[in-house]
Amino acid sequence: MKNLVLMLALLCSGSAFAQLANDNTLSVKVDGKEYKTAPRRIRVGSVWYVTANALKPDKSLRFWFVNVNRTEMPEVGTYLVVNEGYGNKKEVEALVAEGKYKGVAYVKYVEETRAPRMEYHVGRSRRDGGTIEVTAVSADAIEGKFNATLDGSHYKEKATATVFGGVGRIVNKMEDKAVTGATGYESDIDPEGRGYKRTDQKDEIVLKDGVFKLNLKKSDEK
């Protein structure tokens, strides 16, 4: 599959890192640095999430919506950013009953800090960690804006993974980079469960002045 994507990218653009175009937009300041890319949505049944990826360095920003009715499309309104351990039906219903929020959202940000995918900086949403405001929803598009502060952690590739993975592991990393660059979809841009260890270093990742627009076309789904 990866080889097929690589071949298509080369045929379409002459470059293994040229992302297939779409009309989606996302921009946000990550710790004060502007990040712009063309996001996609990944859909599994009635559940979908936004994934916004880029290269040099590898970056991946993802967020999910959860509302009381568990419907596929979020409603216009504000969603509270929370940690992944929060969000059972009773908790969300109680929050929505207060009248301020339509539901909750989860956010995760991953950035490669040493190439090729040797070290990562990862941010996970925290309880009361910000908001995502959905400003417009139609059959064709969804628009919104967001601000969030994430709990940051750092990962390093395990020595055993580097040694025993050898050249094959490096080749797989470069193939994953090419898939992300060609399609816009994430391809293993996440250290968890892939031969990395979490260090003791902790910090924050601040997402500020974020805006996004997704055109909801069948061709943009995965």
The verdict on residue 9 lying in a domain is no
Predicted local distance difference test score (pLDDT) of residue 159: 54
Other beta carbons within 10 angstroms of residue 92's beta carbon come to 22
Predicted local distance difference test score (pLDDT) of residue 218: 52
Instruction: Give CA–CA dist 102/67, Å, rounded.
Output: 6
Instruction: Give CA–CA dist 38/206, Å, rounded.
Output: 20
Phi, then psi, of 193 in degrees rounded to 5: 75, 20
The verdict on residue 8 lying in a domain is no
Predicted local distance difference test score (pLDDT) of residue 12: 35
Q: How many degrees, rounded to 5, is the angle at CA 16 between CA 11 and CA 194?
A: 135
The verdict on residue 61 lying in a domain is yes
Predicted local distance difference test score (pLDDT) of residue 37: 93
- What pTM value is reported for the model? 0.78
Predicted local distance difference test score (pLDDT) of residue 178: 42
Predicted local distance difference test score (pLDDT) of residue 115: 84
Question: In angstroms, how far is CA 2 from the centroid of its own chain?
Answer: 20
The verdict on residue 92 lying in a domain is yes
Residue 187 belongs to domain spanning: 21-220
The verdict on residue 200 lying in a domain is yes
The verdict on residue 118 lying in a domain is yes
Predicted local distance difference test score (pLDDT) of residue 46: 57
- 62: which residues sit within 8 A by CB, 6+ positions away? 49, 50, 51, 52, 107, 108, 109, 186
Per-residue pLDDT of the chain (222 residues; tens, 9 = 90+): 344 333 333 333 333 333 444 789 999 999 999 999 999 888 776 567 899 988 888 899 999 988 887 677 889 999 999 998 887 888 889 999 999 999 999 999 999 998 876 899 999 999 999 999 999 999 889 999 999 999 999 999 875 544 434 334 343 544 444 444 444 455 456 777 656 889 999 999 999 999 999 998 654 555
The verdict on residue 198 lying in a domain is yes
- 25: which residues sit within 8 A by CB, 6+ positions away? 36, 38, 39, 211, 212, 213
The verdict on residue 5 lying in a domain is no
Q: What's the structural domain count of the chain? A: 1
Predicted local distance difference test score (pLDDT) of residue 154: 96
